[in-house]
Structure 1
Amino acid sequence: MRPIIKLFGQLFAGAYRRFTQALDYPELTQISVQREICDRLIKSDYGKTLGINSLADWQAVPIVDYDGLEPWILGQEKRQQIPLTPEPILFYEKTSGSTGAIKWIPYTQSLRRSFNQMFCVWAHDLIVHGPKFSTGKIYASISPQLNVGNSQSLQDDLDYLDGWLRWLLRPWLVMPKGLNRLHNMQEFKHQLALALLQAENLEIISVWSPSFLQVHLNYIQENRELLHRELQGIISGDRLQILLSENIPWMQLWANLKLISCWDSAKAADQAKGLRLQFPGVLVQGKGLLATEAPMTIPLIAAGGYVPVLDEVFFEFEDDTGCLQRLHELSIGKEYAIILSQKGGLYRYRIGDRIRVTHYYHQTPCLEFIGRSQDISDLVGEKLQASFVQDALNRLNLQGTHFQSLVPVTNPPHYILLLDSAQQTPEMIAQQLDLALAESYHYNLARSLGQLAPPEVLISAQIPELLTSIRLQKGSIWGGIKHPILATTAMSQEILEALKSHN
């Protein structure tokens, strides 16, 4: 199989070569992409309404968030033609971010091609610079369609790619038949567990959130006897014996596994760290900044970081003073909010992600995702920021913990830290947490005045799955659920009681 995998690398070499050449000329490349996107805008009803006639009118395009574009995207219903782009809409994909309501993002052929190009560059880099793949067997995330009627939504992660590439990859996939049509979460987990356990040659796992994979590993561990019975005579005796282990050694089950691709920045960092501990020797590679709205950065082994998709997406960056910078103008160590324009009809779109410039590769800055712009919780004026909370939790040195989420509660106003496991008692952690958060002036003031009660700590291995189940019932897509390090809306009493019942 190795020679065939090398052929794949050669197939993607042209895209990789063009991309790395573009990295030498970020300013010229970005101007070219901006002009292409602006040409689409000029031909659209949206552009005509704004009076955009040429690239010189770019500053007249308003900087908007999703709410500003939603009437143009949906109108009365999802349509095949929308006023934002002259291209027809292939489908709509819903986002399931950690904050806010569900958003529907229109996909055109040009936008899908942007994802396609990103994949080709990433795949070539992995084949040439990454682990020596030999079986090529891939599990690419599939999310169950728990809400019937979303026929216009993506069925699995491969639908982000062009038809020829999907056709090329199908034979390599661990793809249980009919899995994406299951509407029952338990049945989905069971069927996926059976398929993964039968995939002895599994070499690559590609998911969005690391918690998605962790849920399935936990299911296999907890239901190992049932799975063992069902797999009698289907998998080898040695692997059946491994499956019965009190703590399953995952690397013995999937001895060929070489790559896990998932989010590993900001709120996903701890969960990705947990996977690295469970799969020693496997490359757990961050996906970079990849959103439903657009591919933004690619993890390149050769670059030692995350390189912007500068030949498909036009970027503007807002610094803390509100000034806008172009890609080639960014400074190492500085933080910026991203404003993007892509080929599917989103122009000067404030996506809400913040990045830090880590270093330059060729002549282009590498961008590390550090969190959302609006990750602030404010019950009584304490104004806790997600980045501060993350630093505070890091200082607690919570050994053996892979899931952490600080949530506000209104009655009485206080914070609860949710953990999947911990070596210290909840009371000890709560005291340390209170001291760490008190380094924030506003939090300390609120505690001193009695506006905030002391924090609580709840510890249970069931917490991540329980929160996931609640989010699924509200319409989120399972594979893309991100549990925030800091929740920005208060937790309901009903959810709180459900969590405490598992504590």
Structure 2
Amino acid sequence: MRSIIQLFGKLFAPAYRRFERALNYPELTQLSVQQEICDRLMASDYGKALKIRSVEDWQDVPIVDYDTLEPWILGQEKRQQIPLTTEPILFYEKTSGSSGAIKWIPYTLSLRRSFNQMFCVWAYDLIKNGPRFSTGKIYACISPQLNVADASSLQDDLDYLDGWLRWLLRPWLVMPNNLNHLHNAQEFKHQLALALLQAEKLEIISIWSPSFLQVHLKYIQENQELLQQELHNKISRVGVARRRHRLQLLGENPIPWTQLWSNLKLISCWDSANAADQAKGLQSQFPGVLVQGKGLLATEAPMTIPLIAAGGYVPVLDEVFFEFEDNNGSVYRLHELQQGEEYTIILSQKGGLYRYRIGDRIRVTHYYRQTPCLEFLGRHQAVSDLVGEKLQSNFVHHALHSMNLPEGCFKSLVSLAEPPQYILLLDSAATSKEILAQQLDEALSQSYHYQRARSLGQLAPPQVIISAQIPEILALHRLRSGSIWGGIKHPILATSPISTELLQELQRTSS
């Protein structure tokens, strides 16, 4: 198997070498990508409407958000041809971000190839510089289609890749039949648990949100006896002694995950901003396993790749044209960025989004070769404002960290409209709800506007809800609204008030 994996490395090597050369010449590479994307823009009805005749007219292309482009993307319905590009639309993929309404992003062959190139570079770096892979068995995130009306959306990570690469990777996948056609969350968890438990040689887990894996590990732990019974016959193909050993491991409390999947070498997941603590939680559960961040990867475009060789996240500069806006509204090119500074991303990609304000904020950590490495900080301008308190996500992040909550625990601050107040959701805690609520109030009172609203009685004292079921309840609530489970981001600060029904469901599970 190791020799086959090395052959994969040779297959991906040309893409990696091209990318490595591009990192030495970021300005020239970006000018080339800009010209290619501008040529596509000029050929489109959108570009003609803007009267863009050459790359010299680039500054005449407006910087836009999704709401501005939505009439050009959807019109009255999802179409195979849209005015933003001359390429046919292969499919539409919906976003499932932490804020705002669902957005539909059109995918063309060229955009999918951008994701494809990113994957080849990432895979080569792992084969060359990462753990010594020997089995190649991989679980790539699959999400249930609980909202049947939206069943046209992608559910499998590999659907972002070109057909030849999907075909090449299929034999290595841990993928139970028809798992992505299940419409019941409990049945999905059960079937996925059985598949993962039977995957003795599992070597790679590729997911989006760390909480997605945590939910399924929790399901396995809570249903270990039932799963033991069902697996008794299902894993009869392996040796009797080894089968008994695996069933014995499954019966332990807590289950020793690294012994259950002794070949596991890599967990690929989000590990920045709101996902950082949950990723640390996975690392503590899987000591010795490389828990690698995904980088900045959005439905709209691949933006950064984690490279072991770079010691950080490098921009996909040969597929996406980047511009960056600072706090003063000045716009910069990639090669103009300053180390240590923070910016928001404006991107142009090959699927029809031009000068698109995606809302992600980054910091320049260091340079690799001649290219800046970018750390994802979170969404730009995530603000909750019930009565003028204007809490920002960065402030809330620091406030919660000052409370010495358990490392790796799930935490999200939500608001209630009536009476106006804040509620901290935790999946575990070593301190009582009452003490934590007092600590939370003191931490948030470091904000002048919050403290004033509390002293005037505009905001009720904050509450704390603690329940191990919180991440799953929130995920299932978002699923019913059309989100994709594997891609759900739980914000550290929810910008819209929580519904009464969801709050009551959370309170019922509280300890």
TM-score by length of 2: 0.97
Cα distance in 1 between the residues matched to 2:28 and 2:16: 18
Counterpart in 1 of 2:3? 3
Q: Map 1:474-485; keep pairs closer than 5 Å.
A: 474-485=481-492
Counterpart in 2 of 1:159? 159
Give % identity: 77
Residues 1:421 and 2:420 are matched in the alignment: no
Contact 1:205 1:259 in 2 (8 A): yes
Counterpart in 2 of 1:339? 346
- Matched to 1:218, the amino acid is K
Q: Map 1:136-147; keep pairs closer than 5 Å.
A: 136-147=136-147
Q: Could you tell me how far 1:155 is from its partner in structure 2?
A: 3.5
CA RMSD of aligned residues (A): 0.9
Counterpart in 2 of 1:58? 58
Counterpart in 1 of 2:497? 490
Q: Could you tell me how far 1:225 is from its partner in structure 2?
A: 0.8
Q: Could you tell me how far 1:393 is from its partner in structure 2?
A: 1.0
Counterpart in 2 of 1:198? 198
- Matched to 2:136, the amino acid is G
Q: How many residues end up aligned between the 2 structures?
A: 503
Counterpart in 2 of 1:105? 105
- Matched to 1:119, the amino acid is F
Q: Could you tell me how far 1:32 is from its partner in structure 2?
A: 0.3
Contact 1:400 1:422 in 2 (8 A): no
- Matched to 1:98, the amino acid is S
- Matched to 2:45, the amino acid is D
Cα distance in 1 between the residues matched to 2:499 and 2:52: 46
**Greater displacement, 352-361 / 440-449:** 440-449
Q: Could you tell me how far 1:374 is from its partner in structure 2?
A: 2.5
Cα distance in 2 between the residues matched to 1:53 and 1:187: 55
- Matched to 1:241, the amino acid is Q
Q: Map 1:175-194; keep pairs closer than 5 Å.
A: 175-194=175-194
- Matched to 1:13, the amino acid is A
Q: Map 1:80-95; keep pairs closer than 5 Å.
A: 80-95=80-95
> Secondary structure of 1:169's match?
helix
Counterpart in 1 of 2:463? 456
Cα distance in 1 between the residues matched to 2:47 and 2:151: 30
Q: Map 1:167-246; keep pairs closer than 5 Å.
A: 167-235=167-235, 236-246=243-253
Q: Could you tell me how far 1:203 is from its partner in structure 2?
A: 0.2
**Greater displacement, 478-487 / 398-407:** 398-407
Counterpart in 2 of 1:378? 385
- Matched to 2:317, the amino acid is L
Counterpart in 2 of 1:268? 275
> Secondary structure of 1:406's match?
strand
- Matched to 1:356, the amino acid is R
Q: Map 1:273-422; keep pairs closer than 5 Å.
A: 273-399=280-406, 402-422=409-429
Q: Could you tell me how far 1:451 is from its partner in structure 2?
A: 1.5
> Secondary structure of 1:12's match?
helix
1:365-388 CA distances to partner (integer Å, 9 max, x unpaired)?
000000101311111111111111
Counterpart in 1 of 2:47? 47
Q: Could you tell me how far 1:450 is from its partner in structure 2?
A: 1.7
Cα 1:32–1:401 change in 2 (3 A) is closer
Cα distance in 1 between the residues matched to 2:396 and 2:7: 47
Give the gaps of 5 or more residues in structure 1: none
> Secondary structure of 1:143's match?
coil
Q: Could you tell me how far 1:150 is from its partner in structure 2?
A: 3.2
Q: Could you tell me how far 1:345 is from its partner in structure 2?
A: 0.2
- Matched to 1:79, the amino acid is R
1:375-434 CA distances to partner (integer Å, 9 max, x unpaired)?
111111111111111111111111255200000112221111000001111111111111
Cα distance in 1 between the residues matched to 2:479 and 2:154: 16
Contact 1:33 1:312 in 2 (8 A): yes
- Matched to 1:81, the amino acid is Q
- Matched to 2:384, the amino acid is S
Cα distance in 1 between the residues matched to 2:460 and 2:84: 49
1:52-99 CA distances to partner (integer Å, 9 max, x unpaired)?
111011111111111111111111111111100010011111111111
Cα distance in 2 between the residues matched to 1:167 and 1:414: 52
Cα distance in 2 between the residues matched to 1:233 and 1:382: 59
Cα distance in 2 between the residues matched to 1:237 and 1:64: 59
Contact 1:298 1:309 in 2 (8 A): yes
> Secondary structure of 2:34's match?
helix
Q: Could you tell me how far 1:323 is from its partner in structure 2?
A: 0.4
Contact 2:150 2:482 in 1 (8 A): no
Counterpart in 2 of 1:258? 265
- Matched to 1:324, the amino acid is V
Cα distance in 2 between the residues matched to 1:7 and 1:400: 40
Cα distance in 2 between the residues matched to 1:102 and 1:234: 40
Residues 1:31 and 2:28 are matched in the alignment: no
Q: Could you tell me how far 1:442 is from its partner in structure 2?
A: 1.2
Q: Could you tell me how far 1:234 is from its partner in structure 2?
A: 2.8
Q: Map 1:428-443; keep pairs closer than 5 Å.
A: 428-443=435-450
Counterpart in 2 of 1:126? 126
**Greater displacement, 166-175 / 143-152:** 143-152
1:183-231 CA distances to partner (integer Å, 9 max, x unpaired)?
1111111111100000000000000111111111111111111111000
Cα distance in 2 between the residues matched to 1:401 and 1:12: 35
1:8-27 CA distances to partner (integer Å, 9 max, x unpaired)?
11111111111011011101
Counterpart in 1 of 2:240? none
Give the gaps of 5 or more residues in structure 2: 236-242
> Secondary structure of 2:338's match?
coil
Cα distance in 2 between the residues matched to 1:355 and 1:25: 21
Contact 1:112 1:160 in 2 (8 A): yes
Q: Could you tell me how far 1:269 is from its partner in structure 2?
A: 0.8
> Secondary structure of 1:340's match?
strand
**Greater displacement, 396-405 / 310-319:** 396-405
Cα 1:110–1:401 change in 2 (3 A) is closer
> Secondary structure of 1:396's match?
coil
Counterpart in 1 of 2:18? 18
> Secondary structure of 2:234's match?
coil
Contact 1:138 1:174 in 2 (8 A): yes
Cα distance in 1 between the residues matched to 2:275 and 2:247: 32
